[in-house]
Structure 1
Amino acid sequence: MTPTNKTTKEAGTNLSSTQHVTPTERSALRTFGSRGGKKSAQRWTDPTQTEYHTNARKPLEAANKRRAQQARASKAEVLAFLSRQIVESGTQPTRREVMQEFGLSESTAKRYLREVRHLL
């Protein structure tokens, strides 16, 4: 057994153990394994694999389109909620109220409020 230290190369990667690996990269390596991840990357860059590209992109495009539509609807709903609250009470609802009303995370509520406030 060879001794390892912090500068040894990780098995099958070009990264040393001291380099940062993002959670996404770690998940991909865990899912595909090193060889599988490399093979997948080759398929995406290989111009002869156009059928693979087309078939793989269709569900991704559909999912992204759905997410974008949901986001627009949510922003419109937040704007309507803000407008309704201002008319009824004369004040804007708090971020926490928007979070509770729509089930949004704090960062999403903050972003939506920032984006729709200029429309009021």
Structure 2
Amino acid sequence: LSAARARDADIVILDTAGRLQTKKNLMQEVAKIARVAGKLVEGAPHEVLLVLDATTGQNAISQARAFSEACNVTGIVMAKLDGTAKGGIVVAIAKRFGIPIVYVGTGEGFEDLASFDARLFAQGLLR
């Protein structure tokens, strides 16, 4: 964050990939990252996206709970919707935790990331 500030960056993306909700020390790191960002930049972090894997199933609920407790999750990205998984658990998570679904991923490229469309998602669940 300090380097980004020195370079006058408008946007900084911090990727905390690989954090398992069962690893307490790693979840504490996530909370610390959010605290440090808030000290360095007023109002930071401005956006915290929880990326869930469509193949995860019911375990995604405990992931959402743990990450929501560690930091203020502002949106969900449902990834890996290009396979056979439908990711229906994301609807329950959005409702239970009050976190909006903002993006869906259907591949590995930037062009494979799309804004969440509830109608299209529901149609995909019914296929």
Is TM > 0.5 for Structure 1 vs Structure 2?
no
Structure 1 length normalisation: TM-score? 0.27
Higher helix fraction: Structure 1 or Structure 2? 1
Higher RCO, Cα 8 Å, sep 6+: 2
Higher strand fraction: Structure 1 or Structure 2? 2
